[in-house]
Amino acid sequence: MMADHDDPCNELETSYCMNGGTCLKIPFIDTLTCVCSENYKGSRCELYQLLITAHDAGETGLIAAVVTMVLLILFVFTVVIYYTCKVWKAKPKNQQKNSEQQYWRVEPRE
């Protein structure tokens, strides 16, 4: 079993920690430290912490990667459609009509 290396702070020192943090005195280096309550961090528990768990950051990264990939695929798809339409409109009108007529012209047998 490990020995405790800290002592509770006296009444005058308890106000050292902010936002509900617990004050502890480390005797061998003669300094005060704080054990912060949930959602707070910093040497005196003075900073509010928005993201609490590390796995939230991992989920956020995964979501960002998926959204980026979807946007990239949509961008590529849009570019392909744009150039396909541009090439189709660039064909001369008589070529388009001839190609249509070749498929739909039916001549009777004799």
Stronger pLDDT, 105 or 64, i.e. the higher one: 64
What's the whole-number mean pLDDT along residues 29-49? 90
Beta strand 22-26 with 7-8: parallel, antiparallel or unpaired? antiparallel
Per-residue model confidence (pLDDT) at position 1? 37
What's the whole-number mean pLDDT along residues 33-52? 87
* Residue 61 CA: distances (Å) to CA of 15, 50, 70: 39, 16, 14
Per-residue model confidence (pLDDT) at position 14? 83
Options 1.10.760.10, 2.10.25.10, 3.40.50.300, 3.40.640.10; CATH for 7-48 is 2.10.25.10
The model's pTM is 0.41
Q: Where are the domains of the chain?
A: 7-48, 54-104
- Answer whether 35's CB lies under 8 Å from 21's CB: yes
